[in-house]
Structure 1
Amino acid sequence: MNKHHLVALGLSAMVCLAAPAAMAQGALTSATAATTAAAPPGLYLALGEKPGITRLMDDFVNRLVKDPRIGGHFKDVKPQALKESLTDQICQLSGGPCKYEGADMKSAHADMDIQKGHFNALVEVLQSAMDAQGIPFAQQNRLLALLAPMHRDVITVR
C-alpha cells in the first residue's frame, strides 16, 4: 500500500471532521469516532500530546478554509470553534485525556452533499498539515487508520 492510498483511507474520516454547519456549532463525532477503534499505544505522545495536536489542527483548518477544492464547505464555519472541536476529537481518538462531545458523523453530514472527491481533497490537506508539523509517516498512517471508518457516515453522495 503506498502513501497516497493510505491517505485516501484516512480522508473519509477527516472529511467527517469538516461538516460546515455542524462544526460551526462545535459538532463532530463523539461516539462514532471514540469507539471505532482503540488508540494505538503511543500515538497521543507521537502527535505531541495536546499542544502538538492543537498546532496540527490550527494548521489543518487554516489550510482547509483556503483550499480551492473544499474551502467552500467551510465558508459558514467559525474556524476557532472547528479547531477546538477537532483538537478534542483527535486528542481523544489518539488516546489522550480530552473528551470530545460533538455530534455523530452521520447527523453532522446528512445534508452536505459530500462526495468521495471531497474526502480525497481533505486527506491531502491533512497530510500536508501533518508533513508541515513534522509528524512521521508511520504516525500519520496510525491516525488516518483511526479516522478511516468514519467515511461510511460522511459521504452522502454515492
Structure 2
Amino acid sequence: MSETIYRQIGGREAVEHVVDDFYDRVLADDDLVGYFEGMDMAELRAHQVQFVSAVAGGPVDYSGANMREAHSHLDIGEDDFDAVCRYLEEALVDAGVNEENVEAIMSEVVALKEPIVGH
C-alpha cells in the first residue's frame, strides 16, 4: 500500500498548521474577512482540518455540510473563491508540502468551485 499524501505531509499536526496559516491569510484579506463575521472560527477550522485531511487521504471522512448548501447564503464570487484557493496553496507550499501533493490537494479544492460559486 502506498503512503497517503496525508502521511507524506506530516499527518494531523501538519494539516492543523496549514489550516491555521490558511485562515490567518484569509482573515487578513479585507475582501474576504466579511464572509467570516459572526462565524464560529474554531468550528470552521475543525471542518477545514477534516476536509484537508480527507482529500489528502487521511483516516478521516469529511462530515461537514454539502458544499453548495454550506456556502449558498454567502454569495461568493469567482475572484473571492480564487483568492481563498491561492491562500490555501500558499499555506501548503510554505509548510513544505511538495509540488505534486499541493497539486493533488488543490485539484480537489478547485473541483468545488462550481458548487460554491455557481449556486
Q: What interval of TM-score do these two structures reach, taking the shorter chain for normalisation?
A: 0.7 to 0.9
Residue pair 2:56, 2:105 contacting (<8 A) in 1 also: yes
Gaps of 5+ in 2: none
Q: Counterpart in 1 of 2:45?
A: 83
List structure 1 runs of 4+ shifted beyond 4 angstroms: none
Residue pair 1:65, 1:75 contacting (<8 A) in 2 also: no
Distance 1:44 1:60 in 2: 17
Q: TM-score, normalised by structure 1?
A: 0.68
Gaps of 5+ in 1: 1-39
Determine if the alignment matches structure 1 residue 144 to structure 2 residue 106.
yes
Q: What is the deviation of 1:78?
A: 2.1
> Over the residues paired in the alignment, what is the CA RMSD in angstroms?
1.8
Distance 1:104 1:90 in 2: 15
Structure number with greater CO (CA < 8 Å, separation at least 6) is 1
Distance 1:139 1:104 in 2: 24
How is 1:57-136 mapped onto 2 (pairs within 5 angstroms)? 57-136=19-98
The one-letter code sitting in structure 2 at the alignment partner of 1:117 is D
Q: TM-score, normalised by structure 2?
A: 0.88
Residue pair 2:4, 2:58 contacting (<8 A) in 1 also: no
Distance 1:47 1:75 in 2: 31
Distance 1:60 1:118 in 2: 14
Instruction: Give aligned pairs, total.
Output: 118
Distance 1:153 1:73 in 2: 17
